[in-house]
Amino acid sequence: MIDTKYLLQEVERNLLENRNLFDAHQLKMARSGTLKPLQIQIQDIDTQEARICHILNMVNQVNIRYRERNSTILNHACDAILKELAAAKFA
């Protein structure tokens, strides 16, 4: 099993590399687990803005739920974040 802490570090690294995609305040709050959920309208689901909101929501939830233990669920969430970041980078 891949170490959850390692995947979280990868997510952090990727977020910082792509910080130009995000609002600095929202990114800071998501990274600390204090971001209020961002709403995504159904008509906007395929937009870059919706993708960014989704990434921030996932980062926020992972940071809320991480308890210094390995977790398969959090590993999958980190993988999803990394894939979304890669897609957002080229959109």
Amino acid at 50: A
Domain residue limits, the chain: 4-89
Query: What value does the mean pLDDT take over residues 52-73?
Result: 96
Q: pTM (2 decimals)?
A: 0.92
Most confident of the ranges 1-5, 42-46, 61-65, 87-91 = 61-65
Q: ∠53-57-59 over CA atoms, to 5°? A: 115
**CA 91 – CA 87 distance, rounded (Å):** 6
Range 21-43 burial, b when 16+ CB lie within 10 A, else e? bbeeebbebbbeeebeebebeee
Tokens of 15: 């977020």
Q: ∠83-74-30 over CA atoms, to 5°? A: 75
